[in-house]
Amino acid sequence: MLEPSALHGIVPPIVTPLTPDGEVDHRSLTSACRFLLASGVHGIWAAGTTGEFPCFTAGDRAEIVQTCVAAAGGRVPVVANIGDCSTKLAVDHARRAAVAGADALALTPPYYYLNSQGELMDHFRAVRTAVDLPLLVYNIPQTVKTQFEVATVLSLAEEGTVVGMKDSQNDLDWDRTLIAGLRERDVPFRLFLGTRSLIDAGVLLGACGAIPGTANVTPAWSVAAYEAAARGDFATAAQWQERLLTALPLLNLVTGGSGNANSIGSIKLALKVLGVIEHATMAAPLRSPSADDEQRIAEFVQAIELPGPVAA
């Protein structure tokens, strides 16, 4: 079983490329994995929010994980998001992910119904009991509606149910309170921030890495920011972090859909422009980018000199 200490650094929540008819494009997914690996990332986060996971069948999600595992080839850990609306569904995804070769699992709170903290604890315990893989909390209240209390995470960590967390709520006060509680209890824990602009700040706070969606298109810059911060060179980390900020307008260049879909569509389109994936199709009913969007993205990618794959 994977040692939790192997979970660190930049772990991009990889996009799920699709064919024009909406099927998973496994060839492009493999290409995206190879692009990230060649850029020095420390792991792959499969079937996450940036990967449009709620839009796919259980079989699709397991195949996405399997493709990422095959592409990673044991060089970095693959974390499979298994979040769904109930414990039964999450356990099914967990079992499928384990068969697909995932090294660790990530679990959101159930969505649709609001859940109490006690229900969250029961949910995580049941999944961890069902599948013997390291389990991480995926805290993203802006999409699932339920927010973890610090005390809940501390209890799950102290009893060994979870080994880490991706916190996407962008609340450093909450993160500092969690880290202080973990240190007080002397509980090892792998905290990742989901933010794209606080990689260095997270390391300073005590996080072990970051899982930003923008790392799909800025993997080398993100890795450079993290590695500089990890060795204590925060001046260099800040320089890379400022360079990463120049890429953020990319997320607003696709228009016509929802905010989240526009951001994911922008990332997919940038990867298409860079020659990493073949199409920028979104999972229906999310709106796919237009030809005008592609022109804007291409001009922006060129303007900020965003690096693409290095020829072999």
Closest to 97 in 3D by CA, of 50, 53, 159:
53
CA atoms of 116 and 56, how far apart (whole Å): 27
CA distance 150 to 269: 37
| Tokens found for residue 204 | 């300073």
CA dihedral over 186, 192, 194, 195, signed as positive or negative: positive
Q: What is the CA radius of gyration of the chain?
A: 18
For this structure, is 111 an active site residue? no
CB of 69 within 8 A of CB of 30?
A: no
Q: How far apart are CA 14 and CA 226, in angstroms?
A: 18
What's the CA gap between 273 and 200, in Å, rounded? 28
β-bridge mates for residue 193, sequence order: 167, 210
Residue 208 neighbours by CB under 8 Å, 6+ apart: 7, 8, 9, 164, 190, 191, 192
User: Which run of H or E residues covers position 272?
Assistant: helix 259-273
Could you give the CA distance from residue 20 to residue 293 in angstroms, rounded to a whole number?
16
Cis peptide before 285 (omega within 30 of 0): yes
166 belongs to the catalytic site: yes
Instruction: Give the active site residue among 111, 145, 166, 268.
Output: 166
What is the residue-wise DSSP string for 114-178?
A: ---HHHHHHHHHHHHHHS-S-EEEEE-HHHHS----HHHHHHHHHTTS-SEEEE-S--HHHHHHH
- The residue annotated as part of the active site, out of 138, 226, 268, 272, is 138
Task: Kindly list the catalytic residues.
Answer: 138, 166
